[in-house]
Amino acid sequence: MIRSRRIAHFALLPSALVALVLAIPLALTGTAVTGAQEATPAAEATHEHDTGAAPLSAESVAFIAEVQTASARFADFAVAEAEGYRQITRYRLALDDQGEIKRARMGEFGRAHFASRDAAGDDAILDPANPEGLVYLRMPDGEMRLLGVMFAAPASEVPDAASSPVIWHTHAVNCVRADGGQSGKKQSMTLAVDCPPAAQKPQVRYLSHVWFVGEPEEALAAHLSRSFQRELLEEAAPAPDPTPA
């Protein structure tokens, strides 16, 4: 079973579509993270982002607990649907090249993001009860397990590192030219400083996660750790067909 997270004394309960629904492009040029922690250059270069493994501040611990309480209703997927959350990424059952699980199946099982137009369109920043996005794991039997929530905000409104209880990041995969075209390796982490000035595009949105599963020290990580992703995917992977006699 997927293990629930415990933070201090708080028990936590159990590519174009993104831009169209939320105007949160997951492939924009920009710095990797800001907020509760800063990413290391090595993490940025490999698209791993910050792992969020440093000790959490008291403010962060309190915010995580508040999010868990306020968003607990989304453990029932029907509630999320009723409140207008719609799928914006396909279900993914795979890891990257060195992820050990290469049963790459898109569209049936695995992790997916769901977003709310209403939450994305309001003026609230870090509203624990109304996150801009939710992350679910779809099991082979159709069960939807809530993994965590996602917040989004314009770069101009993201709190600075000293005052933010979360880690803000962008999914920068390449440089964006003035004509809207892109350059750089697909799925690679390219920072704004690495792009020619003429190829840079102002950052529109920053993202942050609060995970309800995994290791406590990774509650604010941009991504779940590879080891825990493997654990999730092993459970979500459909059983192999019986070998013919």
Q: What is the pLDDT of residues 148-176, one digit of tens each?
A: 999 988 777 877 766 789 988 775 544 55
pTM over 0.75: no
- Within a domain: residue 196? yes
- Within a domain: residue 12? no
What burial letters (b/e) apply to 49-80, b meaning 16+ CB within 10 Å? bbbbeeebeeebbebbbbbbeebbebbebeeb
- Within a domain: residue 169? no
With pLDDT > 90 as the criterion, what percentage of the chain qualifies?
25
Q: Per the structure, how many domains does the chain have?
A: 1
Residue of higher predicted confidence among 52 and 163: 163
- Within a domain: residue 198? yes
The pLDDT, as a whole number, for residue 212 is 93
- Within a domain: residue 4? no
The pLDDT, as a whole number, for residue 123 is 83
Max mean pLDDT among 38-42, 176-180, 204-208 falls in 204-208
Domain enclosing residue 74, as ranges: 30-156+182-236
Q: What's the rounded mean pLDDT across residues 187-208?
A: 56
Taking the CA atoms of residue 68, residue 144, residue 217 and residue 215 in that order, the dihedral angle to the nearest 10 degrees is 130
Q: Are 55 and 215 in contact (CB under 8 A)?
A: no
- Within a domain: residue 85? yes
- Within a domain: residue 204? yes
- Within a domain: residue 91? yes
